[in-house]
Structure formats: structure tokens, C-alpha cells
Amino acid sequence: MPNLPSLGLRNRNNRAPQPLIRSAAPVSAYVVDCAIYDDGRRVEGSWNHSDAIEEVRRRGSGFVWIGLHEPTEEQINGIAETFGLHELAVEDAVHAHQRPKLERYDNTLFMVLKTVRYTDTETRSATSEIVDTGELMVFLGRDFVITVRHGKHAGLAEVRSQLEADPEQLALGPSAVLHGVADHVVDTYLEVTEAIQDDIDEIEAEVFEPGTKIDAEHIYLMKREVMELRRAVQPLTKPMQRLAEGYTPMVADEVRSYFRNVEDHLARVSEMVGAFDELLTTLVDATLAKITLQQNTDMRKISAWVAIVSTPTMIAGIYGMNFTHMPETDWTFGYPLALLVMLGACMVLFKIFRRNKWL
């Protein structure tokens, strides 16, 4: 790597820094983006993680934002050593499958968030997931923020673009990035809950619509997905409260009020998820009751037809007994009369069952 004087960062007479000219640094596939932000604006050039933090600390202002996607332990080790990340937090970031949480390691904050995505009904199969989940980890330091995401739907390109379009917000430092990430995740929760609300409304209409048949397995599937969403939302409540209440000086005072807004949105989502769970439990009970009622109706129909069929069977059985002293066997009208009696008995039973709504 070339030394700093050869890059035009500082001349031998300690004159004011000249405009930077950086050659493109190779970026590995797991590094989505690596950028320097000073006074809310992105510094031009391509950077690797070591050059970026070196430049920020040389300037004495600004911060580095590095985005990673599913790095391995070997890939993240160099970044962890450069930024002094705690080994336990690095292990969590690599292996994922963590609950939402907020932890502090010396001068670094480590936050885990669950990301969610609603699966469109057109591309969803009967057994597929309705809510697809992923994970997003954030390392926050005095002059850096590192985001590590797991899952294909947890991209932060939109968040980065929105923050870059608002230099005043981005000038608040790394905590503004943490807020932007948390706000984006919670807004996604709101979108997913609204979509699930529409699905539950449709299920509710089908359950209480007379004459419709509802599959209880679909409700169980929806309930499972709501539980998955609840596991993403509820554990995040406490960390968001701590950030809004000034848990650490690394979160700027100006940013705390923004975290309060995110906390309010999260509370709304949590209430909606709890209401979904209760409503789905009620719908399961109603569906089972409807299925039981349908089964009872079917059994009454079966019993009615069995009674109708058994009547001519009984007459035919008696009429067909082969005894000597049976006067009807020698009677000319015995056979047609037996048929008429069978038909008449069946018609009477049919009318009785129909009047009683068994058929």
C-alpha cells in the first residue's frame, strides 16, 4: 500500500490537505460498500477498510460505514482487528441466528435486528413461509459503523441512499446510521403487519361466511408466521428503549428523539402482532367448531340415508324368507304390493328427514 505523502494527503511542509485522488481498491464479494462520510457528505474515492479508517482518523472528523453480506469468520477477521471488534460479537455476526439485542463491548455497541419480508400470495405455495426472516447486525464505534446482513432481502442500499441525500442527518455521526437502519427495519415490520392484516381479514370473512369450507391448516400456518414475526419484534423493544433513553454517549443527543419515534412505531407493531395472535386463536376455535358442525351434519345425512335404505332391506329380508306357511308367497299381488310398501316407506322417511333438515 502506498504511503500517505504519495497520495497527496499531506505534504512535507504540513500545508493544507490537497484534494484526494484514490485509485480503485479491490472490494471482495462480501463487502457491499465501504465509504467515508465527513460533514454529512460522502468522500469521493474507493476505499478498503484499513485505508478508510486511517483517513478518518487523520482528518479528525467523519466516520467510516462498511456494509458486509454474510461474511465468513476468516473474511471478517481483518476488519475485526482493524476496528477492535470484540470476538464474541464477531462470532455472533458470522454465525447469525441471534435474538434481537443490544450489547456494549468497551467503546463499541453491537446491535442485532431481525429483518422480515412478506411473501407475495402469487409466488407463495401451500407450505411456503408467509414471512421470510433474515438478520442484520450493526457495530457502532466513535468513528465507524459496520453493518453485517444475513439473507437476500435485508439490503441497505435504500437506507444509504436516503441518508446520503440528507447530509444534515448524516452529519450527526455513526448513530444516525444506526437510527436509519433501525427505522428501516421497523418500517418493514409495519408493512408486513399491514399485509398480514389483509390476509387475516380474508380468513375471518371465510370462516364466518355461511356455507364456506375453510382449511384449518392455513390458519395454523398463519399463526406460525405471526409467532415468527413476534420473535423478531418483541425482543427489540427493550434495546430500542435503552437507545432512546441515552444508554450510551455514542448515540448523539440529537438522535435520541429519532429513536423515540422508532420506539413508538415498534410498540404499535408489537400491539398489532399480539392482536393477530389472539384473533387467530379465536379463528382456530371457530374453524374447529365449524368443522365439527359440518361433520355432525354429514353424520345426520348418512344416518338418514341408512334408515331409508334399511327399510326396504328389512321388508325384502322378511318377504324373502323361505317358509311353507307364508300366505303372501302364493298371492298374485304379493310382489307388487311389497314393492309399493317399500317405496312408500322410503318416501315417508325421506319427507320426515327433509322436514327436520337432515337431508
Q: Return the H-helix or E-strand segment holding 104.
A: strand 101-105
The C-alpha atoms of residue 122 and residue 119 are separated, in whole angstroms, by: 9
The predicted model scores a pTM of 0.73
Q: How confident is the prediction along the chain (359 residues), in pLDDT tens digits per residue?
A: 333 333 333 333 343 443 333 333 344 567 888 999 999 899 998 888 899 999 999 989 999 999 999 888 888 988 999 999 999 999 999 988 888 999 998 889 999 999 988 886 554 555 566 788 889 999 999 999 999 999 877 788 899 999 999 999 999 999 999 999 999 999 999 999 988 888 888 888 888 887 777 777 788 888 888 888 888 899 999 999 999 887 778 888 888 889 999 999 999 999 999 999 889 888 888 888 877 777 777 787 888 888 878 878 877 777 776 666 666 666 777 777 777 888 888 888 888 878 877 77
Give the rounded distance of the alpha carbon of 251 from its chain centre: 28
CATH code at position 80 = 3.30.460.20
Are 237 and 334 found together in one domain? no
Are 259 and 337 found together in one domain? no
Spell out the residues 6+ positions from residue 24 whose beta carbon is closer than 8 angstroms to its own.
Answer: 46
Contact between residue 86 and residue 108 where contact means Cβ atoms under 8 Å apart? yes
Tell me the DSSP string of 249-270: TTS-HHHHHHHHHHHHHHHHHH
CATH code at position 321 = 1.20.58.340
Radius of gyration (C-alpha) of the chain in whole angstroms: 36
Domain boundary among 236, 266, 291: 291
Contact between residue 20 and residue 6 where contact means Cβ atoms under 8 Å apart? no
Domain boundary among 265, 291, 317: 291
Give the rounded distance of the alpha carbon of 347 from its chain centre: 58
The DSSP output letter for 325 is S
Are 281 and 303 found together in one domain? no
Contact between residue 100 and residue 236 where contact means Cβ atoms under 8 Å apart? yes
Instruction: Count how many residues are written for the chain.
Output: 359
Residue span of the structural domain in which 52 resides: 5-291
